[in-house]
Structure 1
Amino acid sequence: MRLKQKIKVLIVDDSLLFRETLSREISKDPDVEVVGTATDPYMARDMIIKLKPDVVTLDVEMPKMNGIEFLKKLMPQYPLPVIVVSSVSKNILDALDAGAVEFVTKPNFSRTGGMNSFVNELIVKIKIASTAKVGNLKKDYAPIKAIANSGVNTMNMIIAIGASTGGTDAIYAVVSRLPRDMPPIVIVQHMPPVFTKLYADRLNNTCELEVKEAEDGDVLKPGRVLIAPGSYQMRIVKRGTGYIVKCTQEEKVSGHCPSVDVLFSSVAEAAGKQSIGVILTGMGKDGAEGLLKMKKKGAYTIGQDEKTSIVYGMPMVAYNIGGVEKQLPLEKISDEIVRVLSK
């Protein structure tokens, strides 16, 4: 489906060969127009002011100023969708924290089809990023008090969260405000391998809760958060009086692996009304059907609202098909979870 206007893209990378290759390849898409290329952040700043691109692709390691420092200076003055294109994995999460909406890892040129796969992924993410609302989620979220005498048996409850584009910030905004005495939490964030562990480790270092990348057979425990590993489908399975996770390498579902639909559907079957489902910012519809299944089984379901979503796709579809019981701005979701558990 052709877009009404081409998406104007600025490419920022210090490699001449990579800039020219990227410009040539993504320009083949009829909906994308490369309006310029820049070799460093200072040139990029001038071109952003002059060309007003819709989306910027940005390398992390560059001369004069690295991409993360550039993002920190750029976003407060010129908030626009930025996709990080880098092979430096540990810095990508820093770039997302600094305001980038998406990332794509640079291709392995020794692998057959690596460049084609990379270009296809980047074009998809450019189109997603062009619809993103940036600059509205960088807030401070004060910790809330731990649940006291809630009357809820937290060991029998499960909280399931799903997100995609913009989800790293959104998940942090929710999980970082939750107290330590929470029921087990299971999360799918659309991310490739390696990055899910990096993200889990980062959350673990900044939250009250224990956060780890899930491994097959992990036990769900109060105070523990399990992040689905990249390229694995994660399901919840009843085991005795509790639950474990099953992580298996499978085909994509709803276009993703891990898939929010897979997780939510398993929670619906295993936990039913003893669960809370939360769907956050993201493009597409992954998680919408699964959240509806949870609601039909008696779970309490929450959807992020349009105003605070970077991309109002997944929560919109879930809301439109009747899967969302309560729609809320991001900053109120943690409080709502605690309120429901405290009944």
Structure 2
Amino acid sequence: MTDPAILVAGETLIDFLPAGPGPLSGVESFSRRAGGAAANVAIGLSRLDRPPWFLTNVSTDGFGEFLATTLDENGVPGRLVTRSDHPTTLAFVAHDADADRSFTFYGADSADGHLDAGVVPERVLDGVEWICVDAPVALAAEPARSALLDLCERARDRGCRVAFDPNTRRELWPDDETLHGTLDAMLARTDVVKTSVEDLDGTSLAADDPTDLATNLFAAGPHTVFVTQGADGSRALAADRAPWGAVDVSHPGYDVEPVDATGAGDAFLAGVLCGLAADEPLDELLGFANAVAALTTTEAGAIDALPDRDAVAALRE
């Protein structure tokens, strides 16, 4: 097998999906699913015939055994997957009537916070074109936060480009100062960012309009911004200094019947990375990524619903 051109870094955890919509206080039963933002991206890429390197730390507990098996069964290379006896993070999901979701996390001093970028050798970085950090849990904890920032520094020093999804979960952070400082540090190391207007609300980067949001992000470091807009599709904006020059393109998305939006943003990011690795034009890339995300909302759970290329092609016909 040819070595992967993409390295994804972040957490692997358990999502507990509710039996029905409504607040957690009214849910009586849940189903266990493999999840985690970075794991969703890594498996999404594998389903799209682009298996990446995956840097993550998985617990040795029973949930961790399930997660390690899931990664293996989905064709994700295990070379950079480490194990420790720290507990698995558990995320309990609540759905509203439109299948949108919220998360409640449990797992003090969890395995995600002990991700070790030192296991990534220089030879791997020399062969990688893109590093993707989608790590809301890992970035919120030490020593994983410092490890991820160091990985991005090492990657950029060797000519790798960095893609970043802030994917902010404010309840995970010890204080706003740490959150905002980490965002600033990551964005200074980032080439391409995927986000939404809502995700950066309450930060110095916030703006109600995608154009203004992109302008703020350009000043922070990235040259290209992908803004997801839920059922309204997405938009890609690039500054003059981007390799593809100044770009502003939109895609309206696809009309599907949503069941569960968990992991849709991660699926979109997997689609974006596929297009970036293949040097696709941003408008083509945007349509492909929207299709991947739309299909992911049509089944419960993030990983179980991730589509393959044939399903994406069928939706786009």
The TM tier, using the shorter chain, reads 0.3 to 0.5
Ranked by relative contact order (alpha carbons within 8 Å, sequence separation 6 or more), the top structure is: 2
Q: Which one has a bigger Cα radius of gyration? A: 1
What's the TM-score once normalised by structure 2's chain length?
A: 0.38
Normalising to structure 1: TM-score of the pair?
0.35
